[in-house]
Amino acid sequence: MLVPGTEFPHLCTQCEDYPCVTACPFKALGVNEATSAVTVNAEKCTGCGKCMEACPGKVPHEHPHTHKILICDLCGGDPQCAKVCGEGGWNCLRVVEREDREFKLFARVPEETAKALATKLYGEKAEEFL
């Protein structure tokens, strides 16, 4: 259950083992070697949803009109969301370099992240919203 006031961007963490890519039976997903971002070949994608099921953060989603899968491709290595977030003064998003740590640790479904954020914002009173 999402909590009002805890809206946040839900982004791909670029898991080092890319379960979404591995799960695609049509080989429609790949990895851009320069950016480590998941890429989608729309011509091969059938919108079957196997990548959505495999993703620990449930990040891939289906475009409502094309019914093809959408996953952040990091804007070719220059993520515009992080740029706009900083320029707008929100400073919630930033680009971090991949280091020797397991990125899958950061992949959580939106409900888990909202609960953690609500607890951080509201403390023990967060349970009232959950």
Tens digits of per-residue pLDDT, 38-82?
A: 999 999 999 999 999 999 888 899 999 999 999 988 898 899 988
Task: Using the predicted structure, report yes or no on whether residue 1 has a pLDDT greater than 70.
Answer: no
Decide if 119 is inside a domain. Answer: no
pLDDT tens per residue, range 19-42 = 999 999 999 999 999 888 999 999
Average per-residue pLDDT in the chain? 84
User: Residue 37, Cα to own-chain centre: how many angstroms?
Assistant: 11
- If you average pLDDT over residues 96-115, what whole number do you get? 69
For residue 120, being part of any structural domain is answered with no
Domain count across the chain: 1
Residue 48 domain-assigned (yes or no): yes
- Burial classification of residue 88, based on how many CB atoms lie within 10 Å of its CB (0-12 exposed, 13-18 middle, 19 or more buried): exposed
In a domain, residue 94? The reply is yes
Q: 33: domain CATH number? A: 3.30.70.20
Residue 27 lies in domain: 10-98
Residue 112 lies in a domain: no
